[in-house]
Amino acid sequence: MRLLITSTLDSNEPFGTFTRPFYLGKYLTQHFEVCQLGLNCSAIDYAPSVSVGSKNLRSYIQAIQTCMEDFEPDIIYAQQNLAGIASLISLVLKRQKKCSLVFDFHSVPAFEHWTLLPHVSNRAKQLAQFLKAYIAQGSLILANKSIIVAGESTTELITQWYRTKPHKIYCVGNGVTDDLLKIPNSSTRFVDPYHKLRPAKIVLVIAPKVFGFPSNDLSVSMTLQVARHLEAHSKNIHFVVIGRDGEGLDRTLPSNITFTGFLPKRSDFLAHLVHADVGLLPFSKEAVAGGARNKALDYLACQKLVVSTPEGLRGLEEFRDRQHLLVSGYSVEEVANTLIDACTNLENYQPLVEAAYKLTREKYSWSAMAEKVAGILNKETNY
């Protein structure tokens, strides 16, 4: 069968909304003839693709209608609100009854916009975004189509915010890439990018600049606070933030933190992961860390000890404190104390690392997630 995946995949920003459609699409080619439609699909090398080039709803509708004529999909798998609305409208305009439509919600944007409202400078704009997202996703939920969500927490939020639970809703989490799962215990494949910072233990934070949601900005803010709190321990603990530079920050940076900027080469990104000692997820309650589960899985797949606030693990509740990783409180002091404990007792925490890696390898590969999605799509087809 032919599967058209519509999303806001952007090859210029290979984090966030890029990850889920890209990797699910890659492994779904084993089950379907796939075509990807997104904002910028230049990174798609495993299937035909169409780049819309704009987040304009009309442009998306036109592009999807053209794909429907040229590709003739049996199923449209639409991820997030924009692609979902455009796909639904396109099906109505084309009067396609044989083509199935399945939605995928990575998050509940209205909840995220509302939670972040007190922390943005332009509250009127944020409120408008909230209303727009609430109405858009509500329209999709009420369309009576099958829905796939990236975590049980998304199902719970849909029920809370829309006072309904869709009849056909399935939970398929995020996965981790094979190249991370196959990295051997030996790190000799990669040159240590932190050699000038040794013998300090490296605490890694992945925080790419994602426009629209300041969650990663809030995580960087907490990282800076924790680094300042631990500046006296700079010989033993050093923070490294990848995905952005240190420009635009209001205060002088503490001596125990380094910003690498964006790492365009996959090999460089892997080297920074492999040689880190601790993976940190410093998300406050307000950060609404929907994408943090991707970062957590990257750390766990590379067999790194993870330190996280409770919000940093939303959607990964199967990983438990003191069984697979270390969960701190939300205060700067609590995060700092947990990091001191982690960096001082790395060897003692290796059983946690091994248990987390085993669970990640067995249940959280993208290929395993694609198998689940394929089963749902086959079940929901109109044929």
Q: What is the pLDDT of residues 106-138, one digit of tens each?
A: 888 888 888 878 877 788 988 998 999 999 999
Domain with CATH 3.40.50.2000 in the chain: 2-175+365-380, 178-363
Q: Average pLDDT, stretch 60-86?
A: 96
Phi then psi for residue 14, to 5 deg, are -75, 50
**For the chain, first and last CA: distance in Å?**
10
CATH for 178-363 is: 3.40.50.2000
More confident: 379 or 51: 51
- DSSP run (H or E) holding 224: helix 215-229
Rounded to whole angstroms, how far apart are CA atoms 273 and 14? 16
Instruction: Give residue-wise pLDDT tens across range 175-217.
Output: 998 888 887 554 567 899 999 999 999 999 998 876 555 778 8
Q: Please give the pLDDT value at position 383.
A: 53
Q: Please give the pLDDT value at position 212.
A: 55
Check whether 291 has a pLDDT greater than 80.
Answer: no
Q: Please give the pLDDT value at position 120.
A: 76
Check whether 289 has a pLDDT greater than 60.
Answer: no
Amino acid 40 reads N
Instruction: Give residue-wise pLDDT tens across range 222-263.
Output: 999 999 999 999 999 999 999 888 777 767 899 999 999 888
Q: Average pLDDT, stretch 355-377?
A: 94
Q: Please give the pLDDT value at position 382.
A: 57
- pLDDT, mean over the chain: 90
Q: What is the pTM of this model?
A: 0.86
Rounded to whole angstroms, how far apart are CA atoms 170 and 150? 9
- DSSP run (H or E) holding 352: helix 350-363
Taking a C-beta distance cutoff of 8 angstroms, is the pair 147, 159 a contact? Answer: no
Token pair for residue 97? 């009854």
CATH for 2-175+365-380 is: 3.40.50.2000
Q: CB-hemisphere CA count at 13 Å for 358?
A: 8
Q: Give the range among 247-261, 286-300, 317-331 with minimum mean pLDDT.
A: 286-300
**Contacts of range 111-119, beta carbons closer than 8 Å, 24 or more positions apart:** 111/157, 111/161, 111/288, 112/213, 112/215, 112/288, 112/290, 115/286, 115/288, 116/213, 116/214, 116/215, 116/286, 116/288, 118/286, 119/214, 119/218, 119/286
Q: Please give the pLDDT value at position 350.
A: 96
pLDDT band, residue 266 (cuts 50/70/90)? confident
Output the CA torsion 242→246→252→256 (10° steps). Answer: 20
R_g of the chain computed on alpha carbons: 21
Residues of the chain with pLDDT > 70: what percent?
95
Q: Average pLDDT, stretch 135-154?
A: 92
Token pair for residue 332? 């700067």
How many angstroms separate the Cα of 246 from the Cα of each of 34, 69, 121, 209, 285?
Answer: 40, 47, 20, 11, 23
pLDDT band, residue 1 (cuts 50/70/90)? very high
How many angstroms separate the Cα of 312 from the Cα of each of 161, 206, 216, 219, 297?
Answer: 21, 12, 11, 10, 11
DSSP 3-state of 212? coil
Check whether 278 has a pLDDT greater than 90.
Answer: yes
Amino acid 355 reads A
Instruction: Give residue-wise pLDDT tens across range 15-70.
Output: 767 889 999 999 999 999 999 999 999 999 999 999 999 999 999 999 999 999 99
Which of the 8 DSSP states describes residue 252?
P
Rounded to whole angstroms, how far apart are CA atoms 35 and 76? 10
Q: Please give the pLDDT value at position 360.
A: 93
Residues of the chain with pLDDT > 90: what percent?
66
Rounded to whole angstroms, how far apart are CA atoms 62 and 381? 24
Kindly write down the DSSP assignment for every residue of 116-184, as one continuous string: HGGG-S-HHHHHHHHHHHHHHHHHHHTTT-EEEESSHHHHHHHHHHHS---SSEEE----B-HHHHT--
pLDDT band, residue 381 (cuts 50/70/90)? confident
